[in-house]
Each structure stands twice: as structure tokens, then as C-alpha cells.
Amino acid sequence: MTVTDLVSYEDALASYDPVMGLEVHVELGTKTKMFCGCSTELKQDANSQTCPTCLGLPGSLPVVNAIGVESAVKIGLALNCEIAEWCRFARKNYFYPDMPKNFQTSQYDEPIAFNGYLDVQLEDGEIFRVQIERAHMEEDTGKSLHVGGATGRIHGASHSLLDYNRAGIPLIEIVTKPIEGAGTRAPEVAKAYVAELRELIKALGVSEARMEQGQMRCDVNLSLRPHGREEFGTRSETKNVNSLRSVERAARFEIQRHAAVLNSGGTIVQETRHFHEEDGSTTAGRIKDNAEDYRYFPEPDLVPVAPAREWVEELRKGLPELPRVRRNRLREEWGVSEHDMQSMLNAGAIDPIVATIEAGADAASARKWWMGELARNANESGRDLASLPITPEQVARVTALVKEGSLNDKLARQVIEGVLAGEGGPDDVVEKRGLKVVSDEGALSTAVDEAIAANAGIADKIRSGKVAAAGALVGAVMKATRGQADAARVRELILEKLGVTEG
Ligand SMILES: [Zn+2]
């Protein structure tokens, strides 16, 4: 099905009610893997961070990572879940080349956290409660690299390479209950949920949750049912969606696709689907029926996990201020609208802005640079704000230079551009590129005299009281000084010289 065969979004929602289920995998930021002591820093050569345990060699024995369990409990508590008094790991048996044990150590019917909820705020400020089914611990698989083909997919490849460095990295999978009643706002709810979850995970300090690096990825389950029917329709599962915008687009596309299939009398196949960033479409993956049998059984090599109640309560007391509460506080402090706050949340800008303010910038300037120049740069380079090669301290330094008058906005943008290009800190870039506002009054005065002489007509207009025309002369002076003048001072000088007072 191509994009043109789809039913329009409005028509789809006029006939059907969407039901979603969101499964989010979060890679924990522990130093070592979930069941062995191998490092989780994925910087080394392929297969350099492996041992008999994460390679699944016979006779090797796993040991649970205590920080992994602690992180899982923190996530569960922050999601208002009950924490199991006793639970076990389970083997999920299936064969896949990037999973050397031929089973994944996961949790099955005894998750560590269950029965919670997360309140998410929509763009108009409305709160939507998403019910959480469970959060459980498991391990990541290795990576396959298909070589020799044009697309990097297995189709057309001449051979495949396997890297087990990622095998055994701790994951928490968070599964929602069916999300019903969102109606036309289902895609927005999906996006807002993942955004809120990302903020929560970051606030807990258990992962950096960088979606573009795969540290957090979302599977979007979606089905439609005719209005008024209780029973769920057949669902599709769009796998590994790795940006907030893509989560929204994937849900939207699937609503339109399901409606088209159903309207033409077809049946939805229960299958996994791949999301395509280029046009926002999805294509069929593998058929996934309910009978899929992983032959789960309790992992015999690991002892059960029984978190002591006192410890759980201690962790509960240590939870940070929840992101939504914090956002409301910041929104009042900064005096911005709900909508602006939502934009900052979606851009991942809140933490960098807060850090920039802590480094000495005022709130308005910090917001301006992160949501303007830097957000644009992040968008263009397909990165998130936090991974741009500029620190909040450096942004604060730029705002300080603007404040003391040695940079204007235009020059500040060039300084930021230089920092992002790796030319050093703000002061280095100012030095190397020779960027400084011309504050030498003599030089400014000369430039203003020249501009007046070259634009006699405009000067006359200003003399006769049309102060608004001064903008053109300011522009001429800025051009002559290659943007390195303080525009406000230039304007003052022009009016002074022409004997006009404002007001
Ligand atoms: Zn290992």
C-alpha cells in the first residue's frame, strides 16, 4: 500500500476508534552488562567487550547486575507501579544469529514492576492518563551487519558479520495497557507518552535515553475497531521507532492504512512492520500470530529477585522531582506558555536550558539560543540537542559576551557556529575569527557620517521627522562594519547627528 492509497486521517477517525499499545525499550546506563562484568561502553572494536557469559558459552554462569535491578525499581516507582516482592528471570527461547545463547534472559509472568500509570500532558494542557501494564528487566541482543548489498539489509548481501558487544546490555521494557479513548488524538498521545517517559528516565539518572542512538526505542501496536464496538481489532506492531516525531507519524500512518484495508473489505494481518523515516510509511515485516511460542521457563541459573520493602521505600524517598511537576514550576518561573513548554519538551531542550541558566545566563537568553540557532542546527544534522558539540557553559558564555556588548546577535550566531564546527570555546572563536563589536566611537562615527552622506534622501526624511526611516541607515552602517557594530548605538548616533529626538 502506498501513501496515496490511504484513507484520509479524518475519514478513518470518522468510522473507527484506534486502540494503541506502546512498548518502550530503555537501555540502562550501567557501567557493566546485566549478567556479566563486561563494559557497556560501545566504543571498542567489534566483539572486544565479550566474555563466556554474554557469548553464551557452555558452563558460564550469569550474575545479576545490582544497579540494573535498582534502576528497574526506580523506574517502576516513578511509573506508580507495584514492585514485586519476589520475581524471577525467564528464558525466552528463540534462534537469532545475534543472540548467541539461543534464548534471551528476560522476565515473563513475574515482572519486577506492574500495574502503574503515567500522566502525560497534551499540547492544549489536557492530562491523559496512560495505564502501565508492566516494566521488566531483560538483556539486549548483539548486532548483525549485512555486507555487500546496497541497502544494508540482508536481502542482496554477500555475507553477514556479528558483533556481540551489545549482547547482554541491560534493558527495561515498559509496556502500556491498551490505550483507549484517545480518538483523533491517539498519535499525539503516543508522542506525548514517549516524550514524558524519556524525561522521566533522564530525571531518574538511569539512562540518557537518547532515541537517535537507540538508547530508547518504541514499538507501536495499533488496531482499529468500528465506533461502538468493545472488541479490539487485529493489531500491527511497528518496531523500533526511534524519534518522537516518528512515533506520532507511525501511529497516524497505521490508522490510515488499517482504515483503508478494512474499508475495502480486507483483513488486517497480525504482523510486525518497519517504519520508514523518508515518507513516514510502514511496510510489512514478519507475520506474528498469537500462537508464537517462546517456551518461556524460569531461568535456573539465576536466583529470584526479592527487593526488601525497606530498600524499596528508601528508593521511593530518593525519587527526584517528577518532570511534569518540574516543568510546571519552570513554566511559572520563566513566564512562558504551555505550548512553548511543550515545544521545549519535544526538542529535549529543558535540561540544556536549565544547565545554561545555572551557568549564569538569564532564562530568556538561554531559551532563545537553545530553541533557535541550536535547535535549527540539531534538526539539520539529525541530532538531538544534548548531543550537539556545545556545552551549556559555552552557551552561557556567549550570552555573557552579548550582555557585556562585545557581541551582537549576528556575531553570536557566528561564534556558536564556530564552536559547533570544533574551533574551540566561544572566546577562542572570537579570537580566531576576529569577531568583536566595533565599540570604537571614532570608527562608528565615521561609518555613520559616510552612511548619511551616501543616503542623502533618507537622511532628509529622518530630519523631517520620519524616524522609522532610520532603519535603512542602520542597515547601511551594519553592512559597512560587516555586522560588527552595536545596532542600538548606531541608531542613537544617526538620530543625534541628524538632530532628531525620538518620541
Ligand atoms: Zn560478558
CA-CA distance, 233 to 254, in Å (whole number)? 13
Q: In what order do the strands lie in the sheet with 103-106?
A: 103-106, 90-93, 297-298
CA-CA distance, 391 to 366, in Å (whole number)? 12
Instruction: Say if residue 72's pLDDT is above 80.
Output: yes
* 299 Cβ contact list (under 8 Å, min separation 6): 62, 88, 89, 90, 91, 105
Helix, coil or strand: residue 433: helix
Cell of 55: 557469548
Kindly give the distance from the C-alpha atom of residue 59 to the centroid of ligand 1, in angstroms, as a whole number. Answer: 13
Kindly give the distance from the C-alpha atom of residue 88 to the centroid of ligand 1, in angstroms, as a whole number. Answer: 21
Instruction: Say if residue 503's pLDDT is above 90.
Output: no
Instruction: Say if residue 16's pLDDT is above 90.
Output: yes
Classify strands 90-93 and 297-298 as parallel, antiparallel or unpaired: antiparallel
Q: What percentage of residues in the chain have a pLDDT greater than 90? A: 69
The predicted structure's pLDDT at residue 391: 95
Kindly give the distance from the C-alpha atom of residue 39 to the centroid of ligand 1, in angstroms, as a whole number. Answer: 8
Least trusted range by pLDDT, from 283-297, 384-398, 487-501: 283-297
Q: Taking the alpha carbons of 189, 240, 28, 357 in that order, is the dihedral positive or negative?
A: negative
Q: How confident is the model at residue 381 (pLDDT cuts 50, 70, 90)?
A: confident
Kindly give the distance from the C-alpha atom of residue 103 to the centroid of ligand 1, in angstroms, as a whole number. Answer: 15
Quote the longest CA-to-CA distance of the chain: 94
The predicted structure's pLDDT at residue 275: 96
Kindly give the distance from the C-alpha atom of residue 49 to the centroid of ligand 1, in angstroms, as a whole number. Answer: 7
Tell me how long the chain is. Answer: 503
Kindly give the distance from the C-alpha atom of residue 368 to the centroid of ligand 1, in angstroms, as a whole number. Answer: 45
The pLDDT tens digits for 100-140 are: 899 999 999 999 999 999 999 888 888 999 999 999 999 99
The predicted structure's pLDDT at residue 42: 76
Helix, coil or strand: residue 322: coil
Kindly give the distance from the C-alpha atom of residue 36 to the centroid of ligand 1, in angstroms, as a whole number. Answer: 5
Cell of 373: 540557532
The pLDDT tens digits for 342-372 are: 889 888 899 999 999 999 999 999 999 999 9
What mean pLDDT, rounded, does the chain reach? 92
The pLDDT tens digits for 423-478 are: 999 999 988 888 877 767 788 888 899 999 999 899 899 888 888 888 888 998 88
The predicted structure's pLDDT at residue 199: 92
Got the DSSP string for 325-361? HHHHHHHHHHT--HHHHHHHHHTT-HHHHHHHHHTT-
**In 264-322, beta strands by DSSP E:** 271-276, 281-287, 297-298
Could you tell me which residues are beta bridge partners of residue 170? 139
CATH, range 441-497: 1.10.10.410
Phi and psi angles of residue 91, each rounded to the nearest 5 degrees, phi first: -90, 125
Q: How confident is the model at residue 292 (pLDDT cuts 50, 70, 90)?
A: low
CA nearest 452: which of 399, 497, 483? 497
Kindly give the distance from the C-alpha atom of residue 221 to the centroid of ligand 1, in angstroms, as a whole number. Answer: 33
Please say whether the beta carbons of 75 and 201 come within 8 A: yes
How many alpha carbons lie under 13 Å from residue 118 in its C-beta half-sphere?
Answer: 34
The predicted structure's pLDDT at residue 345: 87
Please say whether the beta carbons of 234 and 268 come within 8 A: yes
Q: How far from 494 is each of 214, 246, 275, 365, 477, CA to CA, in Å?
A: 55, 51, 58, 28, 10
The pLDDT tens digits for 299-323 are: 999 999 999 999 999 999 999 998 9
Kindly give the distance from the C-alpha atom of residue 159 to the centroid of ligand 1, in angstroms, as a whole number. Answer: 25
Kindly give the distance from the C-alpha atom of residue 70 to the centroid of ligand 1, in angstroms, as a whole number. Answer: 20
Got the DSSP string for 132-182? EEEEEEEE---EEEEESSSSSSSTT-SEEEEE-TTTT-EEEEEEEPPB-S-
Domain locations in the chain? 3-311, 321-433, 441-497
The predicted structure's pLDDT at residue 286: 82
Kindly give the distance from the C-alpha atom of residue 33 to the centroid of ligand 1, in angstroms, as a whole number. Answer: 7
Kindly give the distance from the C-alpha atom of residue 45 to the centroid of ligand 1, in angstroms, as a whole number. Answer: 15
Q: What is the CA radius of gyration of the chain?
A: 28
Q: How confident is the model at residue 10 (pLDDT cuts 50, 70, 90)?
A: very high
The predicted structure's pLDDT at residue 3: 55
The predicted structure's pLDDT at residue 446: 87
Phi and psi angles of residue 481, each rounded to the nearest 5 degrees, phi first: -95, 20
Kindly give the distance from the C-alpha atom of residue 24 to the centroid of ligand 1, in angstroms, as a whole number. Answer: 24
Helix, coil or strand: residue 414: helix
The mean pLDDT value for 137-146 works out to: 94
CA nearest 126: which of 81, 70, 183? 183
Helix, coil or strand: residue 272: strand
Q: What percentage of residues in the chain have a pLDDT greater than 70? A: 98
Q: How far is CA 182 from the centre of its chain?
A: 22
Kindly give the distance from the C-alpha atom of residue 143 to the centroid of ligand 1, in angstroms, as a whole number. Answer: 15
Residues with CB under 5 A from ligand 1 (ion): 36, 38, 51, 53-54
Give the chain's end-to-end CA distance (angstroms, integer).
64
The predicted structure's pLDDT at residue 303: 95
Q: How confident is the model at residue 166 (pLDDT cuts 50, 70, 90)?
A: very high
The mean pLDDT value for 49-73 works out to: 96
Kindly give the distance from the C-alpha atom of residue 35 to the centroid of ligand 1, in angstroms, as a whole number. Answer: 7
Q: How confident is the model at residue 191 (pLDDT cuts 50, 70, 90)?
A: very high
Please say whether the beta carbons of 60 and 106 come within 8 A: no
CA-CA distance, 199 to 321, in Å (whole number)? 11
CA-CA distance, 192 to 379, in Å (whole number)? 19
The mean pLDDT value for 276-300 works out to: 86
The predicted structure's pLDDT at residue 175: 98
Kindly give the distance from the C-alpha atom of residue 304 to the centroid of ligand 1, in angstroms, as a whole number. Answer: 21
Instruction: Say if residue 419's pLDDT is above 70.
Output: yes
